[in-house]
Structure 1
Amino acid sequence: MNANLFALFESRFPADRTACCIETHDGLYYTWDDLDRATAKIANLLTALTLPAGARVAVQVEKSVEALCLYLATLRAGLVYLPLNTAYQEAEIDYFVGDAEPAVVVCSSANFGWVSKVAFKHNTHHVFTLDENRTGSLLQRAAMQPDQFTTVARQDDDLAAILYTSGTTGRSKGAMLTHRNLASNAQTLHEAWGWRSDDVLLHMLPIFHVHGLFVASHGALLAGAKMIWAPKLDMAQILKFIPRATVMMGVPTYYVRMVQEPRFDREVCANMRLFVSGSAPLLLETFDAFRERTGHTILERYGMSETVMLVSNPYDPAQGERIGGTVGLPLPGVSVRVMDGEGRACEPGVIGNVEVKGPNVFKGYWRMPEKTAQEFTADGWFRTGDVGRFGAEVAGRAVPDSYLTIVGRSKDLIISGGYNVYPKEIESFIDEMPGVAESAVIGVPHADFGEAVVAVVVRKPGAEIDEAGLIGTLKGRIANFKVPKRVHVVEELPRNTMGKVQKNVLREQYNTL
Structure 2
Amino acid sequence: MFKIFTKKIKFSPLISTCKKNYGFLSNITELKLNNKVFLTDHYSQFTYDEILNLSKSLSLNIIKKLNLKEPNYLNNEKIGIYCSNNYSYLASILSIWMLNGVPFVLNKSHPSKFIEQFIDDFKCKLIINGVNSNSLDQDFNKMLNEKNTINFQLKENEFFKLKNEHINLGSNIPNNYDELKSFLTQNETEKTSFLLVTSGTSGKPKGVVITFRNLLSSIETMITAYKWTPENHILNPLPLNHYSGLVYCFLTPFLLGASVNLMSKFNSKKVWDHLLNDKSINSFIAVPTIYTQMVNEYNVNLCQEIPKENIRNILTKMKFIGSGSAPLNVKTFNEWTDLTQYPMVERYGMTEIGMALSTPLIETEKIKRIGGTVGRPCGKVGVRIYDNLNNRVLLESNAENDYFSTDSNDIFGELQINGPTVFKEYYNRPDLTAESFSDDGWFKTGDTARFLKESNVYKIIGRTSVDVIKSGGHKISALDVEKEIMAYDMIEDCSVMGLSDAIWGQRVFALIVLKAKNEDKFNRDVFLNWCKLRMPKYCVPSLIKIVQHIPKNQLGKVNKKELIQFYENNEV
In structure 2, list runs of 5 or more residues that go unmatched: 1-17, 175-179, 395-405, 468-477, 480-494, 498-508, 516-548
Determine if contact 2:238/2:266 at 8 Å carries over to the other structure.
yes
For residues 208-223 of structure 1, what are the structure 2 equivalents within 5 Å?
208-223=241-256
1:410 aligned partner, one-letter code: T
SS in 1 for 2:414: strand
Aligned to 2:97: 75
SS in 2 for 1:268: helix
Aligned to 1:36: 52
Shift in alpha-carbon separation, 1:70–1:167, aligned structure 2, 3 A: closer
Shift in alpha-carbon separation, 1:195–1:144, aligned structure 2, 3 A: closer
Shift in alpha-carbon separation, 1:190–1:73, aligned structure 2, 3 A: same
SS in 2 for 1:186: helix
Query: Which stretch shows the higher mean deviation, 207-216 or 90-99?
Result: 90-99
Match of 1:380 among 441, 448, 455: 441
Alpha-carbon distance, 1:285 to partner: 0.9
Aligned to 2:529: none
Aligned to 1:24: 41
**Structure 2 CA distance, aligned partners of 1:86 and 1:202?**
21
Determine if contact 2:107/2:241 at 8 Å carries over to the other structure.
yes
Residue-by-residue CA offset, 1:355-407 (whole Å, 9 max, x unaligned):
11000111111001111111111000011111111115xxxxxx523x11110
1:299 aligned partner, one-letter code: V
Larger Rg, first or second structure (1 or 2): 2
Query: Which stretch shows the higher mean deviation, 292-301 or 265-274?
Result: 265-274
Corresponding position: 1:117 with 2:142: yes
Corresponding position: 1:155 with 2:187: yes
SS in 2 for 1:301: strand
SS in 2 for 1:310: strand
**Structure 1 CA distance, aligned partners of 2:263 and 2:202?**
35
Corresponding position: 1:128 with 2:183: no
Aligned to 1:332: 379
Alpha-carbon distance, 1:292 to partner: 1.1
Aligned to 2:393: 345
TM-score (norm 1): 0.74
**Structure 2 CA distance, aligned partners of 1:83 and 1:206?**
11
Alpha-carbon distance, 1:445 to partner: 5.6
Residue-by-residue CA offset, 1:196-230 (whole Å, 9 max, x unaligned):
21111111111001010011113312331111122
For residues 332-411 of structure 1, what are the structure 2 equivalents within 5 Å?
332-341=379-388, 342-346=390-394, 347=406, 349-391=410-452, 399-401=454-456, 403-411=457-465
Determine if contact 2:74/2:99 at 8 Å carries over to the other structure.
no
Determine if contact 1:352/1:388 at 8 Å carries over to the other structure.
yes
In structure 1, list runs of 5 or more residues that go unmatched: 393-398, 416-420, 424-441, 449-470, 494-500
Shift in alpha-carbon separation, 1:44–1:131, aligned structure 2, 3 A: closer
Determine if contact 1:387/1:408 at 8 Å carries over to the other structure.
yes
TM-score (norm 2): 0.67
SS in 2 for 1:117: helix
Alpha-carbon distance, 1:45 to partner: 3.1
Percent identity reads: 26
Match of 1:316 among 358, 362, 365: 362
Aligned to 2:518: none
Alpha-carbon distance, 1:232 to partner: 2.0
For residues 345-494 of structure 1, what are the structure 2 equivalents within 5 Å?
345-346=393-394, 347=406, 349-391=410-452, 399-401=454-456, 403-412=457-466, 444=511
Aligned to 2:233: 200
Shift in alpha-carbon separation, 1:344–1:406, aligned structure 2, 3 A: same
**Structure 2 CA distance, aligned partners of 1:379 and 1:182?**
23
Alpha-carbon distance, 1:305 to partner: 0.8
**Structure 2 CA distance, aligned partners of 1:315 and 1:480?**
23
1:385 aligned partner, one-letter code: G
Aligned to 1:235: 268
**Structure 2 CA distance, aligned partners of 1:215 and 1:41?**
26
Shift in alpha-carbon separation, 1:277–1:364, aligned structure 2, 3 A: same
For residues 489-500 of structure 1, what are the structure 2 equivalents within 5 Å?
none
2:106 aligned partner, one-letter code: L
Alpha-carbon distance, 1:74 to partner: 2.1
Aligned to 2:533: none
Shift in alpha-carbon separation, 1:11–1:446, aligned structure 2, 3 A: farther
**Structure 2 CA distance, aligned partners of 1:325 and 1:23?**
33
Corresponding position: 1:298 with 2:354: no
Query: Which stretch shows the higher mean deviation, 311-320 or 333-342?
Result: 311-320
2:252 aligned partner, one-letter code: G
Residue-by-residue CA offset, 1:59-103 (whole Å, 9 max, x unaligned):
222111122221232223322111111210021011111111112
Shift in alpha-carbon separation, 1:16–1:91, aligned structure 2, 3 A: closer
Shift in alpha-carbon separation, 1:171–1:117, aligned structure 2, 3 A: farther
1:11 aligned partner, one-letter code: I
2:99 aligned partner, one-letter code: A
SS in 2 for 1:206: coil
Determine if contact 2:51/2:163 at 8 Å carries over to the other structure.
no
Aligned to 2:505: none
Alpha-carbon distance, 1:256 to partner: 1.4
For residues 74-113 of structure 1, what are the structure 2 equivalents within 5 Å?
74-109=96-131, 110-113=135-138
**Structure 2 CA distance, aligned partners of 1:42 and 1:388?**
45
1:247 aligned partner, one-letter code: S
Shift in alpha-carbon separation, 1:291–1:142, aligned structure 2, 3 A: closer
Aligned to 2:532: none
Alpha-carbon distance, 1:55 to partner: 1.0
Give the total of aligned pairs: 434
Aligned to 1:396: none
2:120 aligned partner, one-letter code: G
**Structure 2 CA distance, aligned partners of 1:357 and 1:483?**
26
Alpha-carbon distance, 1:114 to partner: 2.8
Alpha-carbon distance, 1:167 to partner: 5.5
**Structure 2 CA distance, aligned partners of 1:4 and 1:142?**
31
1:379 aligned partner, one-letter code: D
Query: Which stretch shows the higher mean deviation, 223-232 or 48-57?
Result: 48-57
Determine if contact 1:44/1:145 at 8 Å carries over to the other structure.
no
Match of 1:46 among 62, 76, 88: 62
Alpha-carbon distance, 1:412 to partner: 3.6
**Structure 2 CA distance, aligned partners of 1:95 and 1:237?**
36
SS in 1 for 2:75: coil
Shift in alpha-carbon separation, 1:296–1:288, aligned structure 2, 3 A: same
2:445 aligned partner, one-letter code: T
2:117 aligned partner, one-letter code: Y
1:129 aligned partner, one-letter code: Q
Alpha-carbon distance, 1:43 to partner: 2.8
Shift in alpha-carbon separation, 1:169–1:307, aligned structure 2, 3 A: closer
Query: Which stretch shows the higher mean deviation, 113-122 or 91-100?
Result: 113-122
Shift in alpha-carbon separation, 1:140–1:297, aligned structure 2, 3 A: closer
